[in-house]
Structure 1
Amino acid sequence: MHGNDAMFEPGASASFKDTSPYLARSLNKAMSMDYTPYPAALGGDVTWNALESVKAKVSDRVALANRFNKIQVCVGVDGYVDSLYSLVSRRDGVENFEIMRSMSEFGKKVVDTAGSSCNVERVLKKHIGGGFGPNIARALGTLGARIDLIGCVGKPDDVFTSSLPSTINYHSLSEPGATCALEFNDGKVMLTDFGPVNNVTWDLIKKKIGRERLIDMFSKADAIGQGHWALVPHLNEIWAAWIDEVFPSLDAKERIFFVDPADMSKRSTTHLMAMMKQLEAINQVKGMKVILSLNDKEAIQLSRAFSHAGEIRRFEDYYLAGARMMETLNIHALVIHHPHFATISTKQSTWHVKEGYTTKPRFTTAAGDHFNGGALIALASGLFTPDEAMILANACTAYFVRTGISPDIEKLGTFIDKYRSYVDADLDAII
């Protein structure tokens, strides 16, 4: 575990404002904001210093692999069969067609056809096991970590075992859900049948895995990864049960409790408040360090719920949002990641790190999970400071969106060696 960022003493619970019952309306603002470079006057951009120190630390690939191979992570509790598609805008022949590049192009076609009907052709890009648990397990396992994957993965089904590292230990709760993902250069639309994921409860976990077995997995773990909160209806109740029935049986060694909430637009502010209170309670468990990781849309959604921090209304607000929310939040750290940057904030500091952005990503589904995997393994290793962890996280997701491949240590290290080139120019392929 990282030793330079000591645990802070928890104070009062986070203060929220209950504005609208649901958080959905915040998304339109995120879509309309244009990127604005980080203002130098804020003084928190540590990209190039962090990059140089990371380059030195990853230069010995063997030593890094030896450290990563010792990391044990338990992740869950979802699981889906993901089918990723491009949509066809024009076809001139079997092999000659153009795809829709933007979400607005797809949206306009749907809106313009209202009152009638239309056909939209989809072209399969990838069929793969997905969800927070499988995706972050793929990212972490490819980098060498040892993984216990709890989730809706079937027996496990071939779609998972064929696409995840062979070192993954599967602990199945049920059959998977299913997602049809429509991918564009500027985002994606996830059409999901949650099915069995809706029925994941503490009782099911106890039935399929058992309390003692779960305690054993958590006891060995350097980190526990949880997601996607907004899409797993009973996760608040599961965490509450763990606080009462599982965590008291763990020793006090430091563990990261890493959470990706996912798109919270369909969840109420009341649900969100309950989640944050659960995370604050987990952060008070001796040894637990709660890290909440948000993408740009989720950061807007969370900022709307705070009574003091102010909603993210302009792009520049992203750069202060983490620090403002951490003034009230009693967790270890808050991460905000965007295609252009990542920030990580604790009670003491906020760091900003530029990303190698491209306007032409090949794959976007699971990009956030690869960011999270890079961040989690870096922080759990104890080798990297928070700002350095953002370099690894950015590199992991930047490599993935250009290739659709989870990078191993050699690929990640090579990308980091050329990191500045990807920041300075819009490169849509690996150089």
Structure 2
Amino acid sequence: MSAIMQKYVDYINNFNGNILLGCDGFVDETYEIVEERRSQTDYTAMPKLKNFGELLVERADGGVGVELVWKRRCEGGCGINTGRIAACLGIKPILPGLYGDKEIDPAFEEFRDSCEILSLGDPALTIALEFPDGKVLMSDLKAVSNLTWADVQQRLGEAKLKEIFKDLDILGLGYWSLTSNFDDIFKGFMAECEASGNFPGRMFFDFADIKKKSSEAFLKTLDLVQRYNDRVPLTFSLNEHEVFELFARIGVERPPLEPAAIAEALKVAREKIGFDELVVHTPDFGAASSAKDGEAYALQERQTEVVRLAGAGDSFNGGYLCASLGDLPLKERLVIANAATAFFVCNATGPTREQLIAQIEKAKDK
């Protein structure tokens, strides 16, 4: 075994920590679109997201009718999809979120034992159109939009809040663009940390599609969150579309979509917004800029036997969080995150520690 692989093996077999991720929760109803049907049981699914876009443009002056074929009903959301990777790797994450009001929705049943599920109400609904190369997510956000910190306090109670915020290594909060009361919930998180005197070792954010909200709202939230960077190192994760939107909103020149160029632009953006880390994940690479470790990137091979794309970005984040529980260099953290993503899209679940090591061994860039 090479020295670099031994480093991964030693880390993956021994890392541990406490992770809390909140506070969304979705049930995803996933379909594929029929491109051509030959019989009741024989059809061809639309092969690319681009084909669907071209169809919409072609018929923009009239109407568009498509046939849907149901694929699955499953869990969705930042908390559960990110937490899945930690759970599969043997870390039992704490997941306050929307998993069912009176009882846990069957979509989340598989997570009862591997995660600490703390339900705050009924989940939101997402209709997902899935293609081999991408997806369209259409969500009814009422349940997520209406959630407030007061709701969290009422559902969990003071004693439970104190318990779950104790000795956290990583505290994560996701999907700002889908959560109307994100700032309110973030302030509640911080107030709980202040009250207990226990701040986590790191905070992690996935804002999702920032283009959806105004620059005024976005910059207001960035300023609110950044104030805590001196007390808690902040990590901000984005996909390739979101990072270009970030660059545009804070005045960073748009680089080509190439690993080294993106890493250098991340440094400029990170210094502008005052976060400890900026991370970007794309189908072809992960890149990051860190105040401590500088810049790095890790190439990702596109998988050819994809079975599920919804949750791929969250799986990257889950791998990155687990890789951040120790003192691994930045490049190695990105390699682990890439491996978690690659395994997930081909297996629709997270890897065990042994499977993660095997996935890294397959990677050309490690």
TM over 0.5, yes or no?
yes
**1:201-240 aligned within 5 A:** 201-240=148-187
- Conservation of the 8 A alpha-carbon contact between 1:188 and 1:365: yes
1:59 alignment partner in structure 2: 9
CA gap of 1:217–1:252, structure 2 versus 1, over 3 A, is closer
Q: Does 1:325 align with 2:272?
A: no
- Conservation of the 8 A alpha-carbon contact between 1:230 and 1:263: yes
| Identity rate, percent | 29
Unaligned runs of 5+ in 1: 1-50, 425-431
Residues in 2 aligned to 1:52 and 1:181: alpha-carbon distance in whole angstroms: 42
Residues in 2 aligned to 1:170 and 1:234: alpha-carbon distance in whole angstroms: 21
Q: Does 1:264 align with 2:194?
A: no
Residues in 1 aligned to 2:4 and 2:73: alpha-carbon distance in whole angstroms: 34
**1:177-216 aligned within 5 A:** 177-216=124-163
Residues in 2 aligned to 1:398 and 1:167: alpha-carbon distance in whole angstroms: 21
What is the CA distance between 1:184 and its match in structure 2?
1.9
Residues in 1 aligned to 2:157 and 2:200: alpha-carbon distance in whole angstroms: 23
Q: 2:86 aligns with which of 140, 165, 168?
A: 140
2:309 alignment partner in structure 1: 364
What is the CA distance between 1:249 and its match in structure 2?
2.6
Residues in 2 aligned to 1:390 and 1:52: alpha-carbon distance in whole angstroms: 19
What is the CA distance between 1:220 and its match in structure 2?
2.8
- Conservation of the 8 A alpha-carbon contact between 1:138 and 1:165: no
What is the CA distance between 1:327 and its match in structure 2?
2.2
- Conservation of the 8 A alpha-carbon contact between 2:295 and 2:330: no
What is the CA distance between 1:54 and its match in structure 2?
5.1
The amino acid that maps onto 1:93 is: S
Question: Secondary structure of 2:273's match?
Answer: coil
Residues in 2 aligned to 1:115 and 1:228: alpha-carbon distance in whole angstroms: 33
- Conservation of the 8 A alpha-carbon contact between 1:54 and 1:388: no
1:377 alignment partner in structure 2: 322
1:391 alignment partner in structure 2: 335
Residues in 2 aligned to 1:142 and 1:78: alpha-carbon distance in whole angstroms: 20
Q: Does 1:149 align with 2:95?
A: yes
What is the CA distance between 1:356 and its match in structure 2?
1.8
Residues in 2 aligned to 1:384 and 1:165: alpha-carbon distance in whole angstroms: 30
Tell me the matched-pair count: 361
Q: 1:158 aligns with which of 94, 106, 109?
A: 106
What is the CA distance between 1:124 and its match in structure 2?
2.3
1:334 alignment partner in structure 2: 278
Unaligned runs of 5+ in 2: none
Q: 2:228 aligns with which of 276, 282, 285?
A: 282
The amino acid that maps onto 1:206 is: Q
- Conservation of the 8 A alpha-carbon contact between 1:261 and 1:294: yes
What is the CA distance between 1:52 and its match in structure 2?
5.8
CA gap of 1:313–1:353, structure 2 versus 1, over 3 A, is closer
Residues in 1 aligned to 2:186 and 2:9: alpha-carbon distance in whole angstroms: 39
1:403 alignment partner in structure 2: 347
What is the CA distance between 1:224 and its match in structure 2?
0.9
- Conservation of the 8 A alpha-carbon contact between 1:176 and 1:195: no
CA gap of 1:100–1:209, structure 2 versus 1, over 3 A, is same
1:315 alignment partner in structure 2: 257
Q: Does 1:92 align with 2:34?
A: no
Instruction: Compute the TM-score of the two structures, normalised by the length of structure 2.
Output: 0.92
1:43 alignment partner in structure 2: none
CA gap of 1:397–1:114, structure 2 versus 1, over 3 A, is same
Q: Which has the bigger relative contact order, CA under 8 A and spacing at least 6? A: 1
* Aligned-pair Cα RMSD in Å: 2.2
Instruction: Compute the TM-score of the two structures, normalised by the length of structure 1.
Output: 0.79
The amino acid that maps onto 1:239 is: F
Structure 1, residues 142-188: CA drift from partner, whole Å, max 9, x if none? 111121111010022121013x2622111111100011111223321
Question: Secondary structure of 1:93's match?
Answer: coil
What is the CA distance between 1:208 and its match in structure 2?
0.8
What is the CA distance between 1:138 and its match in structure 2?
1.2
Structure 1, residues 246-269: CA drift from partner, whole Å, max 9, x if none? 121344565121111101121010
**1:97-112 aligned within 5 A:** 97-112=43-58
Q: Does 1:354 align with 2:296?
A: no
Residues in 2 aligned to 1:57 and 1:199: alpha-carbon distance in whole angstroms: 45
